Amino acid sequence: MINIRTDLAIEAKQAYTEENKRELDGVKVDEEKDGEVKITTVTIESDEAGRELGKPKGHYITLDIPDFALYDGESMDEVSKVFGKTLKKLVDVGREKLVLVVGLGNWNVTPDALGPKVVEKTMVTRHIKELMPDAIDDSVRPVCALAPGVLGITGVETGEIVKSLVDRIKPSLVICVDALGARKLERVNRTIQIGDTGISPGAGVGNHRMQINEESLGCKVIAVGVPTVVHAATIVNDAMDLLLDDLISKSQTGKDFYNMLNSVDRAEKNALIREVLTPFVGELMVTPKDVDLVVENLAKVVANGINIAIQPDMELEDINKFLN
């Protein structure tokens, strides 16, 4: 299995190809564009390929957000519509069926607060349809939402909380939203991943908890995530590679030495960097300095996309009126 820390299937696939100099059997990649948004679908077709990539067998759809889109209202709406249209293809339960949106993460830590912020902006309607059915159109799907917090706050496994609620209200679909970890810095806050294999809360920072998936909950689970952090060791590793490439290209002497350093196995180099860094910085995760604004805007994009996908008879303008 590849030895990198990433929650993105597309990065895991790319890393395997780079390290093994070949494509992995049992993995299919399709690319398309919708306006300015690039959509890449990675399909892991076999359990063996899943083990190699460290991802369960299934579909992983990645949307690349255009530059500066999160700083412009119209661009954010366009990304939301593309995301909603893409997510809608996976929301194949009846319109009268209940959908539960779960915002995973710690609302006290900004890079991990994406899930709870999305819940705040989700169009919840279950209570209205039950208590005031005449006040809402019949075509509006019943939706409820939950931000269960994290183990360190509640003392309860997030998966246990979600499982208990699912057993009680019996939704037909659960959409989990969480912050992820990326392998490449340029993907931080720039990528939305949709997967149909469930999610492991805390995986983005190396904490693997009870799985939230169809097997554990007994209903369909769609995972939506955005990478908001990257490991410090990854940045150091990439910086060393760039430095060595630069030294090799400019050096008149010592090229053999630099080439030797550059040829060290990536997994070994990564392990060495972690060994050196950990006593000083621990398991340090890095996020951009404008994370407060970006996560807030990302939450709007993701929430609006979810609203569009699970309320197919409503336009974004109508959804915004409902929320405001």
Give pLDDT tens digits along the chain (324 positions): 445 578 999 999 998 898 888 999 999 999 999 999 999 999 999 999 999 998 999 999 999 999 999 999 999 999 999 999 999 999 988 888 999 999 999 999 999 999 999 999 999 999 998 888 887 888 899 999 999 999 889 999 999 999 999 999 999 999 999 999 998 888 999 999 999 998 876 554 455 567 899 999 999 999 999 999 988 878 887 787 788 777 777 776 667 776 777 677 666 777 777 777 777 777 788 888 999 999 999 999 999 999 999 998 888 888 888 876
Tell if the pTM clears 0.85, that is, is over it.
yes
Report, in angstroms and rounded to the nearest whole number, the Rg of the chain calculated over CA atoms. 21
Helices (H), the chain: 9-20, 47-53, 73-88, 114-120, 126-131, 151-154, 158-169, 214-217, 232-250, 255-262, 266-281, 291-310, 316-323
Q: Give the 3-state secondary structure percentages of the chain, helix then strand then coil, rounded to 5.
A: 50, 20, 35
Looking at residue 269, its pLDDT comes to 73
Using the Cα atoms of residue 167, residue 171, residue 173 and residue 176 in order, give the sign of their dihedral: negative
- Cα gap 145→123, rounded to integer Å: 9
Backbone angles phi, psi at 266, to 5 degrees: -60, -40
Residues in Cβ contact with 41 at an 8 Å cutoff, skipping those fewer than 6 apart: 29, 30, 31, 59, 60, 61, 62
- Residue with the two structure tokens 């959804």: 319
Looking at residue 117, its pLDDT comes to 97
- Cα gap 196→215, rounded to integer Å: 12
Q: What per-residue string of b and e applies to 115-136 under the rule 16 or more CB within 10 Å gives b?
A: bbbbbbbbbbbbebbeeeeeee
